[in-house]
Chain A
Amino acid sequence: MAGEKEKVVAAAGGCCLRPFSCEQGLLSRPDGSAAFLQGDTSVLAGLYGPAEVKGSKELPDRAVLEVLLRPKVGLPGVIERSREQLLRQTCEAVVLGVLHPRTAITLVLQVLSDAGSLLSCCINAACMGLLDAGLPLSSLFCGVTCALDPNGAIILDPTTRQEQEARAILTFAIDSPERKVLMTTTKGSCSVEEGPCFPP
């Protein structure tokens, strides 16, 4: 059995996703919740809304989407804020907010453990959370992190160690109907030829 699996891995050019699992509706208070685990990386998502908006953020034509990313240790900093922006705009592209004008949707993501590919795990948790809350969505999306190792080979869903060794790390969010790219962000530099490696 194990040998067979190795064969599959070898045939795929060493690319392999870690085992992943997901649990939805595990929290009682939020309107939607999901835990997403990729290997030892795990993120918990809780979502409230559409609900009343306080203050000046109210939009007359659509719902306000707010994403909060909570690190496990310490207070959220600049990295969290910039990831919140990435996640928010990714969700905004998919959530049909026009159906709930003048409301707020709050998505809170809590990092439970980080063992590499954290951002893609956040994206997946966010999508599962939106699904669990039953919000109207135009499509689903998933997050994938790819790393290019020093030899130029592609590693999917890298662990922390693989991320440290990698020459470049690319994270994509891909939508379900046409597999278009919703979000990308990169770390490290790579040539154009290596750039658009879109996983199936």
Chain B
Amino acid sequence: MTRSARASSPSSRPAMKATPLSNCERRFLLRAIEERKRLDGRQCYDYRNVRVSFGADRGCCIVELGKTRVLAQVSCELVPPKLNRPTEGILFFNLELSPMAAPGFEPGRQTELLVKLNRLIERCLRNSKCIDTESLCVVAGEKVWQIRLDLHLLNHDGNIIDAASIAGIVALCHFRRPDVSVQGEEVTVFTPEERDPVPLSIHHMPICVSFAFFQQGTYLVVDPSEREERVMDGLLVIAMNKHREICTIQSSGGIMLVKDQVLRCSKITAVKVAEITELIQKALENDRKVRKEGGKFGFAESIPNQKITTFKMESAAVDTNNVEEQAEEIITKADPPSEVFAKPILHTPGTAQIGEGIENSWGDLEESEREEAVEEEGESEATAFEVQKMETEDTSTLREAEKDEPIVLSDSEEEEVIILEPQELPTKARPQANLKQENTSKKAFNKRRRKKRAVR
């Protein structure tokens, strides 16, 4: 638990700009659409393949819509309810456009696109009242479940909203929350081992279907790809459940649509939603069966077998018998810890120092501090100074001799003396201060002299 959990400012991150679409590419795409052809070979009303795979955790799934990929994870937490709705659970939806999905996406930035998509997800999943929030209440006004749905776009190849809405509803259907019991004021949360977790109560499954319009609404394409989204004039999103009830409808891009077009779109939506719902239910049923039978599940099972870029290894035993011997060998080979260590020097009560290397360049300040301290309780340290004074003499003579050279490397084994900036000592100032200054330099000197302990 650390307090600096704020994300660093997004503007400081380098970001690559999305490559702009060239004019001829744009013209080519539009011409193809006019000829009722699409780049990936689909017909105008064709939906890309939908693939749903479940993770090992409950409430986790990846939905692939062609090459667009969305990861969904549902989690829950016990929280106090909102004041105006004491008997309702809280729903929280969040779609993230991961920088992995496309080079133009920046982490943590609220772009217009992101806000629009999040708003649509809210309208599709919350405002359609597909989740029974009252069943999430544990103690009215005290504790309710907060259900959090995190959606991550992993690869952007157009039509994010459809993929996200499918992933969202699949994850919510797949999720199980821990069972709870209330006795008086005591709330007990059961672990999955104690009691089977319970599914959320979901009334219906709203699914979004997107339509892209070109040339002021003359041409229409279902499930636009990323390229098609770039050249489209307007977008119509219809969220519907399998009972043919429209949950939300949104037209954006500022195109005028005639009534017939909207009706036609809603008919297409009904067909697509029926197909997708069936697929989702089949996928959920499959997963349920596998889990019940104790078979293998999780993302590892969804990796294709016959593909050149995939690789699988069965669980492999690793021989670790010789590890301890190896470690021992390394330890015995290494030098044992040195027993030489510094004597701490007490400056004043509460301030002490050990040092081996250089003094810091704050030396001046230190000395004045020490002077004050000494004036306060001179006697206690007086004896220590006397001892040190004897040693200072040879130091200062050495120092004078080497004044001209900034760096001296002594050849002698015992004393590797390196003196930097020997001019720092004004030799004959006040006797009292002088004593202390020499004392400091002596200390530094003494440390340098200590046995070499280089780690090589």
Contacts and interface: CB of A to CB of B under 8 A. Distances in A.
In the complex they form, whether A and B have CB atoms below 8 Å apart is answered with yes
Interface of A: 5, 8-9, 11-13, 15-30, 33, 35, 37, 39-40, 42, 44, 46, 48-49, 51-55, 57-58, 64, 66, 68, 70, 72-78, 81, 104, 106, 108, 110, 112-113, 115, 132, 154, 156, 192-200
Nearest to B157: A28
Given A73-B75, A78-B5, A16 B309 contact: no
Contact of B310 (A19, A24, A196): A24
A174 to B, nearest CB: 13
Given A12-B321, A24-B310, A77-B5, A108 B315 contact: no
B103 interface: yes
Contact of A70 (B16, B98, B307): B98
A196 B300 CA distance: 31
Given A54-B16, A197-B320, 13 more contacts: A12-B320, A19-B312, A28-B155, A40-B298, A44-B71, A57-B14, A72-B152, A106-B14, A108-B99, A110-B98, A110-B152, A110-B154, A198-B327
Given A29-B103, A115-B56, A156-B318, A72 B303 contact: no
B317 interface: yes
A75 B303 CA distance: 27
A29 B56 contact: no
B197 interface: no
Nearest to B320: A15
Contacts of B303: 21, 23, 35, 37
Given A27-B154, A64-B14, A76 B7 contact: yes
A112 B55 contact: yes
Contacts of B103: 29, 48, 51, 106
12 contacts: A16-B317, A21-B313, A28-B157, A29-B157, A42-B298, A46-B101, A52-B17, A54-B14, A73-B148, A110-B152, A113-B299, A132-B309
Contacts of B166: none
B320 A156 contact: yes
B155 A200 contact: no
A12 B318 contact: yes
Interface in B71-121: 71, 73, 75, 96, 98-103, 107-108
A74 B148 CA distance: 9
B7 A199 contact: no
Nearest to B64: A26
A17 to B, nearest CB: 5
Interface string B284-302: 0000000000000011100
B177 to A, nearest CB: 14
Contacts of B7: 75-76
Contacts of A108: 98-100
A49 to B, nearest CB: 8
Interface string B133-174: 000000000000000101010111100000000000000000
Contacts of A70: 96, 98, 100, 107, 152
Contacts of A72: 60, 71, 73, 150, 152
B331 interface: yes
The 10 closest A-B pairs by CB, nearest first: A46-B100, A108-B100, A40-B56, A21-B312, A24-B309, A12-B317, A27-B155, A28-B67, A8-B317, A23-B310
Contacts of A13: 319-321
A118 to B, nearest CB: 13
